[in-house]
């Protein structure tokens, strides 16, 4: 579809130029092919064509009414691959030559395979992605699902479009909470219990600290003092801190393994401890630091924001200071063209504040190269989540539940499936990711397990089932010795049905969808697209005979169409971190 859009845009642009010359509105000549290509819309109803070009925006530059422009542009317009052009009001409706599109699309998919849908837009550019980044000593709960899967999906999308990507887990491994943890451990903990209980044992200690501190607030002072000593390198505390971090990471890594996620760097907040003094010095030199009640802050009232907090009264550093230091370090280390931060919308102000501070420090790149990608809250069956009380829904419990239920369904559907456990794990975890990534990221989500796991609804298991169905048809065709699978298509003599054309048209949209998901930082575009492909493919599968079709040319076309579906679904699954299974 992209190529067609470009071709149509080029032809329309030439027409616009002629029109502008004719009526003396030369400023219309400033438009580029990309401007025009970006104006196309997809009509909601196929009767209105496959692509529509609205002329409303041109009315001002060309000083003519949109319907008049549309008529003038359509007059004598011809585009390769477009079989008909109709003028309706201020629109040009373009009808794609179906058989040309069918051949081009299928040939492109079968030739590009795993690369189909991607692009080279990011060639030579580097993107740093900061995501997941849990706070050490706390378990991985459902609130982290968003940053982890949206972040990783954005990494996949960027890599698919040619960017060099650096995924960073900016672990929350520094701050007063470690003072609390160490005080609690020394008072009430022991090594063996923590080794055995991992994050759960750490959380218990953390919860106990808060309960006790309610009764005896001096515990908070003790914790602060311990953290200040950590910042000065106290060896006993640093040893404990390292151990606590290891225990937490052990647990996080289990979750990452299930999700198929790896990071290029685990440089968390603590990594910046020794880089902080230089940043504080620079802020002072640039006259940005102000002392307020003993603390060091940056006044942002000119920008309608509360002050950005850099140092506490006791001189220990704060979260924004570590982010400023990390951004400078990353710029110098990776020379990024963009650095993306994926966190809950609750941190939007934090990012707006310190992005502004970098700008005030004179780093112009902060304006357009630092991007915060926020997402909404998650609740389970209506209940909000919190960490403080220890009353959280753990990701590992959620995954285990999903895996168990999927196993039970699979036992019924396909009891003799080889490798059943592994498949149940990927379908169960995939169901949760799919459900989560089905809504726009900024929306608040209420998680309903039954809805996520159903094999019938618009779910991950349904999508994976469809993929397995396509895989099985292709393997059967191969086993039957059909010649010409996965090779350029010959459509002469094949009567392509309406369902088939609809499916091909949807497959042709994939590169556009990838681009949209990338530019909007919105993996849900891909999730919803997967559902479109599945719906079209299942309609095709139910309506026509594939392997038992008698006409050899038609049979080969249908097998190749099925293979194309398999490639596109597989590529789309990759982008949203869903594993592919040939059999379910
Ligand atoms: N650790 C933080 C949290 O769990 C998220 C860190 C996000 N990244 C960053 N560079 N601030 O809330």
Give CA separation, 508 vs 1, 462, 496, 521, 580, in Å: 6, 22, 16, 21, 21
The SS3 assignment for 287 reads coil
Give CA separation, 192 vs 196, 228, 239, 240, 373, in Å: 6, 27, 16, 14, 40
Is the Cβ–Cβ distance between 378 and 436 less than 8 Å?
A: yes
Give CA separation, 211 vs 50, 186, 204, 222, 393, in Å: 63, 16, 11, 15, 20
What stretch(es) of the chain map to CATH 1.10.730.10? 395-575
Angle CA(541)–CA(542)–CA(548) in degrees, nearest 5? 70
Is the Cβ–Cβ distance between 436 and 458 less than 8 Å?
A: no
Residue by residue, pLDDT tens for the chain (584 residues) are 778 899 999 999 999 888 888 877 766 667 889 999 999 999 988 889 999 999 999 888 888 999 999 999 999 999 989 999 999 999 999 999 988 899 999 999 999 999 999 999 999 999 999 999 999 887 788 888 999 999 999 999 999 999 999 999 999 999 888 999 999 999 999 999 999 888 888 989 998 999 999 999 999 999 999 998 998 899 999 999 999 999 999 989 999 999 999 999 999 999 999 999 999 999 999 999 999 999 999 999 999 999 999 999 888 888 999 999 999 999 999 999 999 999 999 999 999 999 999 999 999 999 999 999 999 988 877 665 444 444 567 888 889 999 999 999 888 888 888 889 999 999 999 999 999 999 999 999 888 888 888 888 899 999 999 999 999 999 999 999 999 999 999 998 899 999 999 999 999 999 999 999 999 999 999 999 999 999 999 999 999 999 999 999 999 999 999 999 999 999 999 999 999 999 88
Q: Per CATH, is 126-282+317-384 categorized as 3.10.129.10?
A: no
Sequence-ordered list of residues with C-beta below 8 angstroms from that of 517, at least 6 positions apart, any chain: 157, 523, 524, 525, 526, 575
Residue whose C-alpha is closest to residue 576's, from 518, 493, 489: 518
Give CA separation, 476 vs 113, 410, 494, 538, 557, in Å: 20, 22, 22, 18, 15
Report the distance separating Cα 95 and Cα 49, nearest Å: 5
Report the distance separating Cα 388 and Cα 159, nearest Å: 37
Looking at domain 2-96, its CATH class is: alpha beta
Mutual angle of helices 552-575 and 498-508, in 10-degree steps? 30
Ligand 1 centre to CA of 133 (Å) is 5
The residue contributing the CA closest to ligand 1 atom 1 is 172
CATH architecture classification, 395-575: Orthogonal Bundle (1.10)
CB of 135 closer than 6 A to ligand 1?
yes
CB of 172 closer than 6 A to ligand 1?
yes
For a pocket test of ligand 1, which of 172, 320, 342 has the largest count of ligand atoms closer than 8 A to its C-beta?
Answer: 172
Point out the ligand 1 atom lying closest to the alpha carbon of residue 350: 11
If you compute the radius of gyration of the chain from its CA atoms, what whole number of angstroms results?
Answer: 28
What stretch(es) of the chain map to CATH 3.40.50.620? 126-282+317-384
CB of 156 closer than 6 A to ligand 1?
no
Threshold 0.75, pTM exceeds = yes
Tell me the three-class secondary structure of 378-434, residue by residue: EEECCECCCCCCCCCCEHHHHHHHHHHHHHHHHHHHCCCCCCHHHHHHHHHHHHHHH
Q: What stretches of 75-120 show up as alpha helix (H) in DSSP?
A: 98-112
What stretch(es) of the chain map to CATH 3.30.1360.70? 2-96
């Amino acid at each position: 579809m992209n190529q067609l859009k470009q071709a149509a845009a080029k032809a329309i642009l030439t027409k616009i130029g002629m029109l502008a010359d004719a009526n003396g509105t030369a400023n219309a000549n400033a438009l580029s092919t990309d401007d025009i290509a970006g104006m196309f819309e997809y009509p909601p109803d196929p009767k209105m064509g496959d692509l529509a070009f609205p002329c409303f925006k041109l009315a001002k530059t060309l000083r003519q009414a949109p319907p008049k422009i549309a008529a003038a542009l359509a007059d004598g317009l011809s585009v390769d691959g477009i079989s008909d052009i109709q003028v309706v009001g201020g629109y040009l409706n373009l009808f794609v030559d179906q058989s040309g599109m069918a051949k081009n699309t299928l040939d492109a998919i079968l030739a590009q395979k795993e690369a189909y849908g991607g692009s080279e837009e990011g060639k030579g550019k580097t993107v740093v992605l900061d995501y997941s980044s849990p706070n050490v000593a706390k378990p991985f709960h459902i609130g982290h699902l968003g940053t982890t899967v949206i972040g990783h999906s954005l990494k996949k999308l960027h890599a698919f479009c040619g960017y060099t990507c650096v995924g960073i887990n900016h672990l929350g491994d520094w701050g007063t909470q470690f003072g609390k943890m160490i005080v609690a451990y020394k008072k009430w903990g022991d090594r063996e219990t923590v080794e055995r209980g991992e994050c759960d044992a750490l959380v218990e200690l953390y919860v106990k600290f808060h309960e006790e501190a309610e009764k005896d607030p001096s515990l908070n002072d003790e914790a602060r003092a311990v953290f200040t000593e950590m910042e000065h390198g106290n060896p006993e505390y640093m040893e404990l801190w390292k151990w606590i971090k290891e225990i937490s990471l052990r647990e996080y890594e289990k979750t990452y393994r299930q999700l198929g996620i790896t990071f290029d760097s685990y440089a968390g907040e603590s990594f910046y401890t020794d880089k902080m003094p230089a940043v504080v010095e620079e802020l002072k030199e640039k006259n940005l630091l102000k002392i307020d009640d003993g603390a060091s802050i940056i006044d942002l009232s000119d920008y309608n924001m509360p002050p950005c907090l850099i140092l506490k009264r006791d001189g220990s550093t704060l979260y924004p200071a570590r982010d400023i230091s990390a951004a400078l370090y990353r710029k110098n280390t990776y020379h990024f063209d963009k650095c993306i931060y994926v966190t809950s919308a609750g941190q939007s102000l934090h990012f707006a504040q310190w992005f502004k501070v970098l700008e005030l420090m004179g780093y112009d790149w902060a304006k357009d190269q630092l991007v915060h990608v926020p997402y909404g809250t998650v609740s389970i069956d209506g209940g909000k989540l919190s960490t403080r009380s220890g009353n959280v829904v753990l990701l590992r419990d959620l995954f285990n539940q999903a895996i168990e239920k999927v196993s039970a369904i699979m036992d019924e559907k396909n009891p003799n499936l080889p490798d059943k456990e592994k498949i149940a794990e990927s379908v169960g975890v995939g169901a949760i990711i799919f459900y989560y990534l089905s809504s726009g990221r900024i929306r608040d989500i209420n998680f309903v397990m039954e809805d996520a796991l159903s094999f019938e609804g618009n779910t991950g298991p349904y999508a994976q089932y469809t993929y397995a169905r396509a895989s099985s048809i292709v393997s059967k065709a191969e086993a039957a010795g059909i010649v010409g699978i996965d090779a350029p298509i010959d459509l002469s003599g094949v009567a392509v049905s309406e369902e088939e054309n609809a499916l091909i048209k949807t497959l042709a949209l994939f590169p556009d969808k990838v681009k949209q998901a990338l530019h909007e930082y919105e993996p849900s575009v891909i999730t919803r697209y997967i559902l479109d492909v599945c719906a079209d493919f299942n309609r095709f599968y139910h309506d026509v005979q594939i392997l038992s079709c008698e006409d050899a040319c038609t049979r080969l076309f249908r097998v190749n169409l099925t293979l194309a579906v398999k490639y596109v679904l597989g590529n789309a699954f990759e982008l949203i971190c869903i594993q592919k299974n040939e059999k379910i």
